[in-house]
Structure formats: C-alpha cells, structure tokens
C-alpha cells in the first residue's frame, strides 16, 4: 500500500493539509501569461518558485516553459526587491526581447510588500523599458486562493493593462477560456469559427504550449493572443467567461473598464455545458447554429447512446479544480453515473452549492467539499468505494491502492503524454472523455480473471 | 562533429556578448576553457556559488528544494511538514527521484504524502506558529511517526515564526524527535544552501543517537547518494555481494534508525561531494571516521571505488571478495560496450546538471566512446570544479555566511579513531587519498568548456554551435533541447528510467544512450520537401 497511513476513520483537521488538491497562485499566473504572444512571464521572488513552476508546467505540457525570476537572496528579502526587478527588466529586454513582461508576485515579495507598479514606473522613467514594450503585473500571493485564482488574476491584469474602452466596434465576441489545456483553447476557437462567430480568445496557450518540432526552438512560438488584439477587447460585443473561478474576474473588469457585457458560463465539458456554450455563441453572436456544429453534437449523442449500458449507475469520485469539476459532475450525471465524492482544493462556497444543486436535481447523494485535500478525498473513497476516479496524476496512488480505474483530467497530468493535443471541451472533447472513461471500465473487465466469461464482443 | 566545432574561446565570446555589460563581465568569469594545471597544481579559476543574475533564465532552484526535496526527500520515515503556503509543499511532492523500499508492508513510509500548513493570509499577518503546532499534533495523531521534521518556506523566515522553538516544545509534548530546518528559499544562492542546512540538522538531531552496533565486519556509510531511479538499490546489491555492510546512506533509501547509527560505521564513502562534504568532515571530527571520495556511476568507476573501500579495510578476504565480484560482473558490462560502441563511439555529449552528476556521468559516456565537450554544475562551488586544493582560497560572501557552520569537536564518549595516523599515512603512500577530491576539471579534456550556472541563452547558443549528439540536464531544459532536434537526457530523475549506478546501471545507461542517439524520429524533424526544389514536371502516367 502506497498510502498505507490513510485510514477510514476521518478525524478533524484544521491545521494540517495532506496531499493538497490545489497549488499556489503564481503557477496559474505564469500559465496565463504564456497565453500572450511574445510575452515572458517573470516571477518576482526567490528563484525556487520559478524553477518549481516551470518544472511543473513542463512536466504537464511536455513543452518548453520560459520564465524569468528576480532571484532573491537574503539581501533582497531584507531591503526589498526593487534592485532585483529593475536589473531583471534590463537583462530580460537585452536577452529575450519580449513584447510583454508579465510579472507575478510570490509569497516572499508579497510579505516584503514590494510595490510592483512603482518599481516598473521607476524603470520606465530610467529608460530601462524599450519603446513599445510593456511590463504588466498581477499580485499572486501563495497564501491566498490557488493556482486557479492566480490564473484569474493574471487574466484580469491583461484586461487592466491592455483593454482600451470603446475601441473599434466589432461583431467580435471575447472568450475567456479559463485554466484549460492548449488543445481545449484551440477547440473553443474551432467551435466559434464553425458557428461563424468572430471570437478573440484570451489568454490563449494554443500554438504556444503545443508548438511543432521544426529543428529550432522558437523562444516565442506562433501562438498566443496578440497585444494589439488585447488592446481592442474593449470594443467587442460581449465576453463569454468560461468558468466562474478562472475567468469571471477578467470579464467583470472589462465590463467595468469598457462596458463590455459578459456572461459567465461553465467550462464547456460534456454535452450540456457545451450546449450552453454553443447556445451562448448563437445568442450573443446573433447567428444560427450551423449544421456542422449540430452534426458534431449528434455524433456525440450517438456515441453516448452506444456506450450508455456501461455507464449506468457507476459510482464516480472526482477531484480537481472547481471550473472543470462542475461540468464534469454534470457530464457524469448525463451518463447516468453517480458522482458520490466531489472535492476541490480551491476555496469557494459557491462550488459546494453548484455541485450539490446538480446532485440534488439528479437525486444522487454525494459528498461535496471545497478547500479540502486528497487525503480527505481518499478517506471518502475508503468509506464509500467507487467504480472510477477522475482527477489529476496524484490520484494514481489512490487508484492503485484501492484498485479503482483512473481517468486523468485536470492539472497536473504528469504521467501521460498527449493531453496537450487532445481537447476535452466541446462535443469532440466530450467524445474523447467518454471514450477514456469507457475504456477504463472495459479494460478492467478484460483484465478480470473469469475466463469462462471472457468475451470477444463486449 | 567535434572537428567542425568552434574554438572554445570563440564560443565563450559569442555567448557572453549578448548580455548587458555588467552581466557579461560576471558570466565571463563563470565560463572557463579547461586547461592543464599550473606548476603548483591549480586549475583555471571559475566563479561559482554566486548569485544568479536577476532576469537571466537559470536552471537553479532554491534552498527549500535542496533541503526538503533532495536531502530529506528520500528518507521514508521522517514525517516532514512544510511550514508555508501551499505551493512549495505541493511541488516537492515527488517520488520518482526518491525511491525507497520499506522492509515490510506495514513499515512506515511517508514519501507518497505531502504535508503542509497551507498558510493563509491570517497566518502571515498574525504568525503561523499556532497553526504549525496544531498541524504537528494532527499529523502525529494520524501517522504516529518516530520523528517529525519541519521545513520552512520563504515567508516563515520573514514573519519570524520560531520553528525551532515549536520543534523543541513538540518534542517534549509528543515524546518523539522533532526538529526544524530554516531552509527558506532565499537562503544562499541555490539548492546547495539547502543541502547544507539539511545535513547540519540531521547531524545535530539524529546522527549518534542510537549506539547499537550494526552487524558485519566492513561497515561503511554512503554519503551523497539519493537513490534516484533506484541507484542505491543497485549499489546495495553490489556492496552486499562484496560482504560490505552499509550502515546508512545519506539519504537514498534511508531510514531514521540508519542515520541514528551512522556513527558506528568505520568509513564514509562520499558520492556527491557538493551536497555532503561537510557531513563527511563533521563525522570525522566528531566520531573519527575517515572519508574517501567514491563514484558508482560508470562500471570502471564502480570497480575502482570498491577496490578503494577494500584497500581501506586491508583484509585479504574482502579484497578477494571485491575482485571476485568485479570479475563476475564485468563480462556482461563489456559485452554491452562491445555491442554498443560502434554506434556511440565518437559522438559528443554535454552535461549541465547537479553538483556531481555533470562530473560522474562523463565516465559512463567515456566507456562507450563518447566525449563530453562542455559541462558544468547547477549549484557547484569552486572546489567541485577545481578540487579541494582551493578550499583555503574560497572567499565567504554574504550569501554563504548566513548558512550555519557547525562547530564540531571530538565527542568525549563516541569519538573513536578508526585508523592510527601511521595507518592512514601508510594507506596514503599506497595511493588511497583521504578527504580528497580533485574536482571536475581534472577529469575533463583540455579545451572543453566548463560553465557554472548555465543560462538558457547560453544553452541555446551551445546547441546551435556544437550540435552535440546528446544533452543532459533537467526537465526545464528538456523540451528546449528537443525542439532543436537533439535528444535530451534528464539526470535529475532519469526520465523515469534507471538505475544507472553500478554494473547493471551502467549497462542500462549504455542502452539508453544507444537508443537516444539512434532513435529514428530525430531524422525526420526536417520535412522531406524542405530542401528540395519544386519539380518542374510531374511524372507522366505510363
């Protein structure tokens, strides 16, 4: 038993987090910043944070993850990080020539109280920031929120720094995708394009963190939202913010700054959440749903009907980030499965309300927890076993100990390759997700030892 | 490939000229063209263990990573609680590079767990000691460990939480060993500071606390071996075959009791000089155990290290045993070398990793006929490059000064010199060096490039200029190198492969490198149409 010390008996814990179901803000901010073309993320703190975040994102995406750091030592911790950031800005522009440097803070620089806009202003006054280049920032102390709030804060910073009110009136719709894979961002653009809706996605890591191999490393790959486009998001007709945690703050900021109306939708994972996204594109974009999109949907429904006998009544435990977990829970219910444990590490009471609401409508009794950890999640499973776990790579310990199939989804997925290329949003993403879930069940049946019942056709 | 390579002096100029002048001046001192020793035996001087220039993309991590991740990571039964916000504890939650084999199904193993106080804003404002105490109690109730360690992250030091006082109190309250590490990420300039803090802590709080002598005649400790990819398992296998008793490994596949009895060994064998040389020094001072430098990466290096250990004990039975094991293990190694060398011979490698790996792995490459044209450490100090000869000349700067140096004296009860001065002298005369390490440069070719704390920019330029056949570094560098169409081998966690230590590990590494330099996909990076002109006429259907 790998997790041999995890027992059934659930004791109250108020101080100890064990096996967290979240990580810290800066890694989310870094990921969001990579979704801007020719942007270099910069971690303002000691260099270990940046090393950890780059390692984690690299392991997850299997792609180069470029980011710089202020490399604090003890002196900077005592005297403040101004000298380090100023020097960093100078070196970054000389060496890497980005259009944007996206600074995020760490717990260290937050505790010291470094005033980033002030430092950047001084650097600007001293002529250290080349003409036409921008240094933006987001406050991302690790003792608040999670990687999801970090993503939200940097996305909001993109609006605050770049959006200009009332620029070029357009038929365009802004889409804020949330903390999803590069392939998911591409799939969202595909759906909008298929519908004939002009969309602008930000941030957009597609084309950045799924760059082709050409024989030469492009420091700034082709992808990412362009700064000139970010400047015009204030002229878009509306904003669709996908995911209340990761995307709503930027949409709210844009409404405040440029009066762009917005709708907050669930991340379009599964049939129903994708339906709502497509319908929103139709309403807000003032278009009809195209036959091609309706066909995509029809294929998904056809597939799910073919698969449905295997899903009915299966118990599922889900752990991860709030935005994807809500539609994942809904998708499991669509498939007639029972999501009996749903746990997120990111704080937010609304999460519990939403998931309880979904379970209540479906008549499923389940445990729902926010600001919780995977130790608790495992204990819930020990008390009420499940047929399937959906969660990130760290679930593999639980899956192995308890003999439960695992479908990897969320952040981070460290031990499988390819998820950066295959979406799980949209109808096509739902097809892949359903296939993965069914394969997990069927592979298990094929491994079971009853030879008499071993079937060629399942 | 090598004949087309640029002159190293030109490379140095090309890669430093992009920096602003201040950064360029500093980098120029950290990039050295290897040269023969001068008349007094000194190698070219390299600037190292110095701050990374802000804004320059670096391979380095932090003190917390060195302490919690590297040194404490592979210890299975010390329950380590990270005191800080969620991130650091989450990121140090890795097991591949920290494998362990508990003796039984129910023996404690905390490695798959990540414990932390997950400090929130209130804890930062009002102090986190209360939460830490509570977290320790909660952890004790669940896990019932024999020891709990506390690892501090950046904000803890700033807000002034006294983790050592908490540890003292909890030790008294719970009746188990509780100790703390002030390994805040900003301490020092790299992971190296964290290694030092961790070793000091283990030395002060654990080593020497149990006096039952382990069984076996030839008792050694292995220092600076972290069981990455199972290396320690292979070394344990070989030592056992030779009849050598491993009292403890610092800290691969380690347990609390092994540390507590480490002072009962008769020899310390040091693998990674950088991460642990001070532990060897302190153990010698306090308990009288001499140390020698060994290397179990590379089959020849393994054989040589085993012979050194046997020579130290000087007992024919052991010497013969070691020779027998070498004779039995080497044929399989040679057979694979003979098979692979035609495919790997003459190829080139670059290594920028760790604090000894960039040195030790050159041995493995050499065994299959590959040359290392450039190498350097992520967190090395001058002595790791130039040899311990330069120790008296290393200036202590402000960043090093805040890492505690322990004042060690012979223990009044436990000090026991293992060899007399005459015996040591006699062994020295036979060529067995004690407390000696010649460093990386001594083993590298003249004219090769030695680069400390290599930056991303330099990595890219080196790749473009030299096009090595394989590049070794860490996960952050991996895909940058591979986008250039060059295979990249991780040496921090072996790309989920290994072990590479010892005889069987060498075989595994040869095969891995053979695979990497011959994998077909690298030949297809350029599309077939890229360099071909458009044909003028389509072939006619006949």
Q: Do B121 and A144 make contact, defined as CB atoms within 8 angstroms?
A: yes
Q: How many CB atoms lie under 10 A from the CB of residue A85?
A: 28
Contact A21, A378 (CB under 8 A): no
> Which residues does residue B374 pair with via DSSP β-bridges, in sequence order?
B350, B449
pLDDT > 90 in chain B, percent = 92
Contact A237, A172 (CB under 8 A): yes
**Å from B512 to nearest chain A CA?**
20
Q: Which residue of chain B comes nearest to A69, CA vs CA?
A: B55
Concerning whether A107 is annotated as a catalytic residue, the answer is yes
Q: pLDDT by residue (tens digit) across B469-506? A: 999 999 999 999 999 999 999 999 899 899 999 999 99
Burial A217-254 (b: 16+ CB within 10 A, else e): bebbbebbbebebbebbbbbbbbbbbbbbbbbbbbbbb
Catalytic residue among A39, A101, A107, A342: A107
Q: How many CB atoms lie under 10 A from the CB of residue B297?
A: 26
pLDDT at A448: 87
Spatial separation of the C-alpha atoms in residues A249 and A252, rounded to whole Å: 5
**Å from A182 to nearest chain B CA?**
16
DSSP three-state, residue A200: strand
Kindly indicate the confidence band of residue B542, based on its pLDDT and cuts at 50, 70 and 90.
low
Q: Which residue of chain B comes nearest to A8, CA vs CA?
A: B142
Which of B112, B141, B185 minimises the CB distance to A2? B112
Which of A4, A15, A216 minimises the CB distance to B135? A15
pLDDT at A165: 87
H-type alpha helices, B4-147 = 8-16, 21-30, 63-64, 86-91, 121-126, 129-143
Q: How many CB atoms lie under 10 A from the CB of residue B10?
A: 11
Measured over the CA atoms of residue B198, residue B203, residue B209 and residue B215, the dihedral's sign is positive
Q: Which residue of chain A comes nearest to B100, CA vs CA?
A: A2
Q: Given 3-state DSSP classes, what are the helix, strand and coil percentages for chain B, each rounded to the nearest 5?
A: 45, 15, 40
Contact B53, B25 (CB under 8 A): no
pTM of the model: 0.97
Q: What is the largest CA-CA distance in chain A?
A: 80
Residue B70 DSSP code: I
Which of A25, A59, A217 minimises the CB distance to B484? A217
Q: Do A71 and B121 make contact, defined as CB atoms within 8 angstroms?
A: no
Q: pLDDT by residue (tens digit) across B102-112? A: 999 999 999 99
Spatial separation of the C-alpha atoms in residues A328 and A368, rounded to whole Å: 14
**Å from B461 to nearest chain A CA?**
11
Kindly indicate the confidence band of residue B539, based on its pLDDT and cuts at 50, 70 and 90.
low
pLDDT for residue A455 is more than 90: no
Q: pLDDT by residue (tens digit) across A402-426? A: 999 999 999 999 999 999 999 999 9
Mean per-residue pLDDT for A376-402?
98
**Å from B406 to nearest chain A CA?**
20
Q: Which residue of chain B comes nearest to A42, CA vs CA?
A: B55
Q: Which residues of B touch A397 (CB under 8 A)?
A: 112
Q: Do A111 and B159 make contact, defined as CB atoms within 8 angstroms?
A: yes
> Which residues does residue B31 pair with via DSSP β-bridges, in sequence order?
B451
pLDDT for residue A128 is more than 80: yes
pLDDT at B538: 66
Q: Which residues of B touch A95 (CB under 8 A)?
A: 18-19, 55-56, 457
pLDDT for residue A365 is more than 90: yes
Mean per-residue pLDDT for B134-158?
98
pLDDT for residue B100 is more than 50: yes
Q: Which residues of B touch A84 (CB under 8 A)?
A: 54
**Å from B87 to nearest chain A CA?**
5
Q: Do A17 and B86 make contact, defined as CB atoms within 8 angstroms?
A: yes
What ipTM was estimated for this complex?
0.97
Q: Which of B178-192, B393-407, B509-523 has the lowest mean pLDDT?
A: B393-407
Distance from chain centroid for Cα B305: 17
Average pLDDT, rounded, for chain B: 95
Mutate: best of A142, A394, A399, partner B, most B CBs <10 A: A142
**DSSP letter string, B432-455:** --SS----SGGGSPTT-EEESS-B
Query: Does an H or E element contain A275, and which?
Result: helix A270-285
Mean per-residue pLDDT for B385-414?
93
Q: Do B483 and A77 make contact, defined as CB atoms within 8 angstroms?
A: no
Q: pLDDT by residue (tens digit) across B432-471? A: 999 999 999 999 999 999 999 999 999 999 999 999 999 9
Which of A13, A24, A26 minimises the CB distance to B138? A13
Q: Do A213 and B482 make contact, defined as CB atoms within 8 angstroms?
A: yes
Kindly indicate the confidence band of residue B402, based on its pLDDT and cuts at 50, 70 and 90.
confident
Contact A314, A388 (CB under 8 A): yes
pLDDT for residue B431 is more than 50: yes
Q: Do B87 and A142 make contact, defined as CB atoms within 8 angstroms?
A: yes
**Å from A215 to nearest chain B CA?**
4
Q: pLDDT by residue (tens digit) across B24-42? A: 999 999 999 999 999 999 9
pLDDT at A88: 98
Q: Do B158 and A45 make contact, defined as CB atoms within 8 angstroms?
A: no
pLDDT for residue B3 is more than 60: no
**Å from B187 to nearest chain A CA?**
6
Kindly indicate the confidence band of residue B372, based on its pLDDT and cuts at 50, 70 and 90.
very high
Angle, vertex CA A219, rays to CA B17 and CA A50, nearest 5: 90
Mutate: best of A23, A30, A46, partner B, most B CBs <10 A: A46
pLDDT > 90 in chain A, percent = 95
pLDDT at B2: 44
DSSP three-state, residue B393: helix
B178: left (phi over 0), alpha (psi -120 to 50) or beta: beta
Q: pLDDT by residue (tens digit) across B217-266? A: 999 999 999 999 999 999 999 999 999 999 999 999 999 999 999 999 99
Mutate: best of B55, B139, B144, B156, partner A, most A CBs <10 A: B55
Kindly indicate the confidence band of residue B534, based on its pLDDT and cuts at 50, 70 and 90.
confident
pLDDT at B340: 97
Q: Do B475 and A112 make contact, defined as CB atoms within 8 angstroms?
A: no
Mean per-residue pLDDT for A435-447?
95
pLDDT for residue A309 is more than 70: yes
pLDDT at B1: 44
Q: Which residues of A touch B399 (CB under 8 A)?
A: 73-75
Q: Do B61 and A47 make contact, defined as CB atoms within 8 angstroms?
A: yes
Q: Do A15 and B93 make contact, defined as CB atoms within 8 angstroms?
A: no
Q: Do A16 and B485 make contact, defined as CB atoms within 8 angstroms?
A: no
Which of B20, B112, B186 minimises the CB distance to A397? B112
Q: pLDDT by residue (tens digit) across A177-223? A: 999 999 999 999 999 999 999 999 999 999 999 999 999 999 999 99
């Amino acid at each position: 038993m790998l997790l041999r010390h995890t027992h059934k008996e659930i004791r109250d814990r108020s101080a100890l987090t064990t096996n967290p179901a979240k990580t810290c803000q800066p890694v989310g901010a870094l990921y969001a910043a990579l979704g801007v073309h020719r942007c270099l993320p910069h971690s303002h703190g000691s260099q270990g944070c940046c090393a950890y975040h780059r390692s984690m994102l690299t392991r997850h995406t299997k792609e180069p993850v470029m980011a710089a750091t202020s490399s604090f030592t003890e002196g900077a911790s005592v005297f403040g990080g101004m000298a380090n950031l100023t020097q960093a800005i100078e070196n970054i522009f000389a060496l890497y020539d980005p259009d944007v440097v996206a600074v995020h803070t760490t717990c260290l620089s937050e505790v010291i109280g470094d005033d980033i806009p002030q430092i950047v202003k001084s650097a600007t006054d001293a002529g250290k920031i080349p003409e036409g280049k921008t240094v933006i920032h987001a406050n991302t102390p690790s003792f608040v929120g999670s990687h999801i709030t970090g993503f939200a804060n940097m996305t909001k910073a993109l609006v605050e720094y770049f959006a200009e009110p009332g620029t070029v009136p357009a038929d365009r719709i802004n889409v804020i995708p949330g903390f999803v894979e590069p392939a998911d961002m591409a799939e969202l653009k595909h759906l909008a394009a298929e519908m004939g809706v002009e969309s602008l996605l930000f941030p957009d890591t597609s084309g950045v963190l799924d760059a082709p191999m050409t024989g030469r490393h492009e420091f700034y790959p082709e992808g990412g939202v362009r700064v000139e486009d970010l400047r015009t998001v204030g002229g878009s007709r509306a904003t669709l913010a996908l995911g209340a945690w990761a995307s709503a703050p930027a949409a709210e900021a844009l409404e405040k700054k440029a009066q762009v109306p917005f709708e907050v939708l669930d991340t379009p994972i599964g049939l129903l959440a994708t339906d709502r996204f497509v319908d929103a594109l139709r309403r807000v974009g003032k278009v009809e749903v195209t036959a091609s999109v309706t066909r995509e949907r029809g294929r998904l429904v056809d597939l799910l009907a073919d698969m449905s006998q295997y899903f009915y009544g299966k118990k599922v435990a889900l752990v991860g980030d709030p935005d994807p977990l809500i539609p994942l829970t809904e998708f499991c219910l669509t498939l007639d499965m029972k999501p009996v444990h749903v746990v997120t590490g990111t704080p937010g009471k609304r999460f519990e309300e939403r998931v309880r609401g979904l379970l209540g409508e479906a008549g499923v009794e389940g445990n729902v927890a926010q600001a919780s950890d995977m130790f608790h999640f495992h204990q819930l499973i020990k008390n009420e076993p499940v047929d399937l776990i959906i969660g990130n790579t760290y679930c593999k310990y639980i899956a192995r100990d308890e003999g439960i199939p695992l479908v990897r989804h969320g952040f981070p997925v460290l031990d499988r390759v390819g998820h950066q290329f295959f979406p799980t949003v949209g109808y096509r993403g739902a097809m892949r997700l359903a296939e993965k879930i069914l394969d997990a069940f069927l592979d298990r049946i094929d491994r079971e030892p009853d030879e008499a019942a071993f079937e060629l056709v399942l | 490939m090598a004949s087309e390579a640029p002159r190293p002096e030109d490379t140095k100029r090309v890669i430093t000229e992009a920096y602003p002048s201040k950064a360029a001046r500093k980098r120029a001192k950290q990039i050295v063209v290897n040269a023969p020793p001068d008349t007094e035996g000194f190698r070219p001087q390299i600037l190292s263990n110095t701050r990374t220039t802000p804004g320059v993309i670096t391979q380095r991590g932090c003190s917390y990573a060195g302490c919690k991740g590297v040194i404490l990571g592979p210890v299975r039964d010390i329950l380590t609680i990270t005191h800080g916000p969620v991130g650091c504890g989450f990121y140090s939650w890795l097991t591949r590079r920290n494998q362990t084999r508990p003796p039984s199904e129910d023996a404690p193993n905390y490695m798959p767990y990540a414990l932390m106080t997950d400090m929130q804003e209130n804890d930062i404002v009002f102090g986190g000691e209360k939460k830490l105490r509570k977290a320790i109690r909660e952890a004790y109730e669940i896990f019932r460990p024999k020891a709990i360690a506390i690892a501090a992250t950046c904000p803890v030091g700033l807000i002034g939480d006294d983790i050592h006082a908490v540890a003292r109190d909890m030790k008294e309250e719970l009746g188990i060993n509780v100790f703390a590490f002030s390994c805040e990420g900003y301490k020092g300039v790299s992971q190296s500071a964290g290694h030092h803090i961790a070793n000091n802590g283990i030395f002060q709080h654990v080593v020497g606390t149990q006096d039952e002598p382990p069984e076996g005649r030839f008792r050694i400790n292995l220092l600076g071996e972290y069981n990455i990819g199972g290396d320690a398992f292979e070394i344990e296998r070989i030592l056992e075959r030779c009849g050598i008793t491993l009292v403890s490994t610092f800290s691969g596949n380690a347990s609390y009791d092994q540390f507590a009895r480490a002072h009962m060994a008769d020899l310390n064998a040091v693998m990674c000089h950088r991460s642990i040389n001070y532990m060897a020094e302190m153990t010698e001072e306090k308990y009288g155990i001499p140390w020698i430098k060994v290397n179990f990466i590379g089959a020849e290096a393994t054989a040589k290290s085993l012979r050194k250990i046997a020579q130290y004990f000087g007992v024919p039975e052991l010497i013969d045993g070691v020779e027998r094991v070498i004779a039995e293990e080497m044929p399989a190694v040679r057979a694979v070398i003979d098979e692979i060398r035609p495919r790997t011979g003459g190829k080139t490698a670059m290594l920028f990793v760790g604090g000894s790996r960039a040195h030790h792995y050159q041995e493995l490459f050499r065994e299959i006929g590959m040359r290392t044209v450039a190498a350097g450490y992520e967190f090395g100090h001058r002595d790791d490059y130039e040899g311990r000869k330069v120790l008296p000349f290393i200036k202590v700067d402000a960043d090093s000064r805040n890492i505690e140096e322990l004042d060690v004296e012979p223990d009044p009860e436990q000090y026991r010199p293992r060899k007399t001065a005459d015996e040591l002298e006699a062994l020295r005369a036979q060529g067995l060096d004690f407390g000696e390490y010649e460093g990386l440069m001594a083993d590298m070719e003249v004219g090769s490039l030695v680069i400390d704390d290599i930056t991303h920019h330099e990595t890219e330029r080196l790749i473009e200029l030299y096009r090595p056949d394989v590049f070794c570094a860490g996960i952050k560098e991996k895909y940058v190198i591979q986008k250039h169409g060059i295979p990249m081998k991780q040496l921090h966690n072996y790309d989920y492969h290994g072990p590479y230590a010892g005889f069987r590990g060498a075989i595994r590494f040869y095969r891995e490198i053979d695979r990497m330099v011959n994998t077909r996909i690298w030949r297809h990076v350029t599309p077939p149409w890229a360099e071909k002109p458009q044909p003028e006429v389509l072939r006619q259907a006949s």
